[in-house]
Structure 1
Amino acid sequence: MKEWVTMNERYRTFILLAQYRSFTETAKHMFCSQPTVSQHIQQLEKELGCQLISRKKRQIELTTQGEIVLAYAQKMQEMEQQLRLAVKQTQQENIKLYISHYIADSFFNELFDKNNTTYQQYPYEINSFCYEDLKSSLVENHAKFAVMPIYNADTIVHQSFDIDILFEEEFVLVMAADHPLASRKIIYARDLKNLSMLLPQSPYLGQHIKEALHKKAVPVYYIQMTNFEIIKKAVQQGMGVSFLPYKSIEDSLDKLTFKYVKGLSIKRKNGIVFNRNQILNEQEQAFCERIKKNLKMVSVR
């Protein structure tokens, strides 16, 4: 390796000497002594077995062999620059984002605002998953961090990872526009008695909603569905009511109605879960800091 570096320096010396046609000027640009320049040229001539330069009337000229070596030396220098660039590009890993379906869909503008130059400068990929898949990605070390809901009941996440809470949001009671409760100004927990309550498939969120209703001693009929989008369609068809985050229905208020239930509060925290076994690079850290700033300023009902 040492010999390769030495050869590289000699070729660089020769390229500069061919440019300035002066040992003195070449030494100035290399920040070395004139004898060092002469030594580099002599060593290069010895290794190649030919004369590279000649002196005529105090003027340095390249020999025919020197012209050939110069052309190859310049190509070698260009290839070295290309090599360094290629290596540098491979070191810039993609910013791999693991985000819950809900956050990616409802807070896309906050995640990828136009002022965030991080994702504009570096390659990135978005992986949108449900809660359990995000958790598995962290546990299996596929994800360095994940933007996802936070549930106090999930002890594995709290014990195994570092968590930075971004925001907390309250779930609202969602119903069809023609539902009997839609015209009520005030709704109490007892008004939900014996209604069909549509729950998302997420076990932690489903349990979270059940516990809140259980504390109020409200008997309802639970119907499990895949996700928020399916639940919204079912609510529109009059199949039941549901507690959903306001952001998930914001674009459907022409078809749905939401209400707050007096004395009943269902809230969920969302944050960044960091894998302790993974180290974030500079670009990933910058991205996380940016979305922390954006999402912590989010005003949710």
Structure 2
Amino acid sequence: MNLEQITTFLQVYQIGSFQETANQMYLPQPTISHRITQLEKELGKSLLIRGKGRVRLTEEGKAFLPYARHILGSLQEGRNAVASVEQGSAGKLTIGCNNSFASCVMPEVLDTFMAEYPKVALKVQCYASPTLVRFLKQREIQLAITRYTSNDRGIVYRSVYSEPTDLIVSPAHPFAKRKKVDIEEILRETFITYQKDTQYRDLLDTTLNQIQLNYITKIETNNLGLIKHFIKQNAGVHLSGSLYMRNELAKKELVQVKIERNPFSPSQVFIAHLKDETHSLDQLFTRHFESQINSHLNKEQPILNGMSM
């Protein structure tokens, strides 16, 4: 039994004639007869009463009719579902990112995505970058949004955003009135940083060790909200881009100052996925994310041109 046979059976029943069905399907009449015969042979029963006048259903044909209609209806629904996913109008997408990104950036990106594609079901999981890599490989998430890459050849990283690292201070700090501050002068201040064994801290330590410079840590935490709080309290300085700080910068609760002789490489935002395993919905979200983060966020904070450390 195949779809051609079922389609032909329904056409013959609806039209009432083998010859007219052949004409409308642009097929020879023997082809139509052969398909019906093969279908009846597989079912072991006659489905159509041939003779003079209109072709009619046998009792077995009447019993088979709703199932034939259901089969073709389900096929069309399947085609529509595939088309919907390709167009981004339906489907399920599981995304991973860290907690800081989830609280500072993702709400606006997801709001605009869901408004444009309301039939897409979203699941967002928040973990550090090494865990996101593991979840990608275990196929627990489809896409990972991360600031750091790995050496895993099975994962593809697409850079969607980049920015320099700047100095972030309280409006009450003396540096807040300056356009630029030299890196050695900055390092004489006390620092508010992420704690050790984080990728942020590893990058900070590696960069400064390469140029044989040290810094003094006063407060360390793995919570971005606490980092912002202590900067506002003028308890120390912090090195970051503007993306995570953009709301506070816009409200003038924090101040961003350029670093003279900046030793830090531009930081980036990546969208990661398993090699050769992206689908239409993944690609659609990636394009939307890249567009939003590079246009909408920039409009809110003109100074913004990339991602933090």
Whether these two folds match at TM > 0.5 is yes
**CA deviations over 1:158-180 (Å, ceiling 9, x no partner):** 66643333332122222222234
User: What does 1:54-203 correspond to in 2, within 5 Å?
Assistant: 55=52, 59-60=53-54, 62=56, 66=57, 68-69=59-60, 71-84=62-75, 89=81, 94-108=92-106, 122-150=120-148, 156-157=150-151, 161-184=155-178, 186-193=180-187, 195-201=189-195, 203=198
- How far apart are the structure 2 equivalents of 1:251 and 1:52? 76
Tell me the SS of whatever aligns to 1:300: coil
Alpha-carbon deviation of 1:213? 4.6
Which of 300, 305, 308 matches 1:300?
305
* Cross-structure match for 1:250: 246
How many residues align? The count is 285
Alpha-carbon deviation of 1:231? 0.6
Alpha-carbon deviation of 1:12? 4.5
Q: Is the 8 A contact 2:132 2:144 kept in 1?
A: yes
* Cross-structure match for 1:5: 2
Alpha-carbon deviation of 1:118? 8.9
Alpha-carbon deviation of 1:82? 4.3
Alpha-carbon deviation of 1:149? 0.8
- How far apart are the structure 2 equivalents of 1:139 and 1:49? 53
**CA deviations over 1:181-217 (Å, ceiling 9, x no partner):** 3344553334445533111246221122234455373
**CA deviations over 1:5-45 (Å, ceiling 9, x no partner):** 39x72x64444333323332122234433345456667749
Q: Is the 8 A contact 2:46 2:61 kept in 1?
A: no
Letter in 2 for 1:203: T
* Cross-structure match for 1:235: 231
- How far apart are the structure 2 equivalents of 1:103 and 1:294? 14
Change (3 A) 1:85 1:272: same
- How far apart are the structure 2 equivalents of 1:170 and 1:240? 20
- How far apart are the structure 2 equivalents of 1:195 and 1:210? 16
Q: Is the 8 A contact 1:118 1:287 kept in 2?
A: no
Q: Which runs of 5 or more structure 2 residues have no equivalent in the other structure?
A: 86-90, 299-303
* Cross-structure match for 1:209: 204
RMSD: 4.1
Change (3 A) 1:117 1:196: same
- How far apart are the structure 2 equivalents of 1:76 and 1:22? 21
- How far apart are the structure 2 equivalents of 1:82 and 1:252? 54
Q: Is the 8 A contact 2:169 2:238 kept in 1?
A: yes
Tell me the SS of whatever aligns to 2:54: strand
Q: Is the 8 A contact 1:175 1:242 kept in 2?
A: yes
Q: Is the 8 A contact 1:212 1:264 kept in 2?
A: no
**CA deviations over 1:232-262 (Å, ceiling 9, x no partner):** 0222233322112212111113322232232
Tell me the SS of whatever aligns to 2:282: helix
Change (3 A) 1:249 1:287: closer
Q: What TM-score, normalized to structure 2?
A: 0.70
Tell me the SS of whatever aligns to 1:60: coil
Tell me the SS of whatever aligns to 1:217: coil
Letter in 1 for 2:219: I
Change (3 A) 1:28 1:149: same
Letter in 1 for 2:68: Q
**CA deviations over 1:78-125 (Å, ceiling 9, x no partner):** 221344357665996633323344445544488558589995565443
State percent identity of aligned pairs: 15
Q: Which runs of 5 or more structure 1 residues have no equivalent in the other structure?
A: none
Tell me the SS of whatever aligns to 2:277: coil
Letter in 2 for 1:17: V
- How far apart are the structure 2 equivalents of 1:51 and 1:190? 92
* Cross-structure match for 1:271: 270
Q: Is 1:262 the counterpart of 2:248 in the alignment? A: no
Tell me the SS of whatever aligns to 2:268: strand
- How far apart are the structure 2 equivalents of 1:51 and 1:164? 59
